[in-house]
């Protein structure tokens, strides 16, 4: 039925194309004649304004244009015929292949089995069939050559998609209360068997956990800091979502390492500056102390000299 539909559409398209080209040709021809008519209409007696030589020349040009358009139409006709013939050949080959397939498999039996499996998989809750048994039924359909006939391959693809969803149902969303010693890494491993998927849990709770005891943060701004008593949302993840969460974890880790390195470098520079300032202050204090001691020594010497002179004067007076 599909082949007939395609064939009819194909023929219709070529008929439309042929008609379209013909209309274009007639339109161009009418423009040429219109232009000539306009030229003649500009004068009351155009035959008096045109010579026989000019008339024959215009007639020859228009005749050539008409012949060119006829040639284009003939070329399009030949193209349509060639394509139509090619389509017939392909139709014949398809029919031959279908006949050969019918000889290799029982199409009626395959259709019956396909419809049966469709009902089982599409209405799995009522079918009473286990997913393992449904998988065997689909494998049997997949192994048959009849799957290439008609629309069987597309229907089988839908069945397989539904079967995959049946085999790997998404986990139900859950909640978890943090206890002492917990971290997102441990919690992720507990629920997903994949510790590196912790980023998904953090995303669901960083702007607000389900609940938390008094004086305990209600948000998780830093994924490395969670507190006992916080109730976290644990999102259900498919395998694809789990992989995406792992990639986000890796990306976050790389950014965090770079940030830490920058912070460490900045802290080292700050410490170096502090040490330099301390050394400068120590040196300044030492220099000040030295200067003070020098001044004290000078003052002591001066005072001693003064006292000696005073004593000498007293001795002289006594004499």
Instruction: Give me the pLDDT at residue 93, please.
Output: 84
Angle, vertex CA 166, rays to CA 164 and CA 169, nearest 5: 100
Q: How many helices (H) and strands (E) does the chain have?
A: 9, 2
Instruction: Give me the pLDDT at residue 54, please.
Output: 87
Instruction: Give me the pLDDT at residue 3, please.
Output: 43
Closest-CA residue to 107 (of 156, 140, 150, 155): 150
The model's pTM is 0.34
Beta bridge partners of 203: none
Spatial separation of the C-alpha atoms in residues 224 and 256, rounded to whole Å: 11
Instruction: Give me the pLDDT at residue 1, please.
Output: 43
Residue 176, phi-psi category: left (phi > 0), alpha (psi -120 to 50), beta (remainder): beta
Helix orientation angle between 131-143 and 152-167, rounded to the nearest 10 degrees: 150
Per-residue pLDDT 10s for the chain (319 aa) are 444 444 444 445 545 555 555 666 666 566 555 555 544 444 445 555 778 888 888 889 999 999 999 999 999 999 999 999 999 888 888 777 777 766 667 778 888 998 999 999 888 878 888 889 989 999 998 888 788 777 888 999 999 998 888 887 655 568 999 999 999 999 999 999 999 999 999 999 999 999 999 999 999 999 999 999 999 999 989 888 999 999 999 999 887 666 655 555 555 456 666 666 666 566 666 665 666 566 666 665 666 666 656 666 666 666 5
Spatial separation of the C-alpha atoms in residues 128 and 120, rounded to whole Å: 8
Spatial separation of the C-alpha atoms in residues 219 and 207, rounded to whole Å: 5
Alpha-carbon 251 to chain mean position: 16
Determine contact, residues 194/148, Cβ cutoff 8 Å: no
Spatial separation of the C-alpha atoms in residues 191 and 157, rounded to whole Å: 32
CATH number of the domain located at residue range(s) 174-251 in this protein:
3.10.350.10
Instruction: Give me the pLDDT at residue 53, please.
Output: 86
Residue with tokens 């394509």: 83
């Amino acid at each position: 039925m599909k082949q007939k539909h395609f064939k009819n559409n194909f023929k219709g398209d070529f008929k439309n194309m042929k008609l379209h080209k013909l209309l274009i040709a007639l339109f161009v021809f009418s423009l040429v004649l219109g232009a000539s008519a306009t030229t003649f209409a500009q004068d009351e007696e155009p035959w008096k304004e045109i010579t026989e030589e000019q008339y024959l020349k215009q007639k020859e040009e228009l005749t050539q244009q008409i012949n060119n358009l006829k040639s284009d139409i003939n070329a399009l006709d030949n193209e349509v015929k060639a394509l139509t013939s090619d389509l017939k050949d392909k139709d014949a080959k398809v029919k031959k292949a279908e006949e050969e397939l019918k000889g290799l498999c029982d199409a009626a039996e395959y259709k019956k089995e396909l419809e049966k499996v469709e009902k089982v998989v599409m209405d799995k809750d009522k079918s009473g069939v286990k997913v393992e048994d449904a998988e065997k039924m689909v494998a049997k359909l997949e192994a048959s050559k009849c799957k290439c006939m008609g629309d069987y391959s597309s229907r089988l693809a839908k069945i397989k998609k539904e079967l995959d969803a049946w085999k790997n149902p998404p986990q139900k969303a859950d909640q978890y209360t943090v206890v002492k010693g917990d971290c997102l890494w441990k919690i992720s491993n507990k629920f997903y068997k994949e510790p590196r998927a912790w980023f998904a849990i953090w995303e669901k709770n960083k702007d607000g956990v389900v609940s938390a005891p008094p004086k305990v943060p209600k948000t998780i701004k830093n994924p490395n800091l969670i507190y006992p008593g916080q109730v976290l949302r644990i999102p259900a993840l498919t395998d694809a979502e789990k992989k995406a969460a792992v990639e986000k974890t890796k990306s976050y880790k790389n950014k965090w390492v770079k940030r830490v390195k920058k912070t460490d470098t900045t802290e080292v520079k700050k410490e170096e500056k502090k040490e330099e300032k301390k050394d400068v202050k120590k040196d300044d204090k030492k220099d000040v102390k030295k200067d003070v001691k020098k001044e004290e020594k000078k003052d002591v010497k001066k005072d001693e000299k003064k006292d000696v002179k005073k004593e000498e004067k007293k001795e002289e007076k006594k004499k």
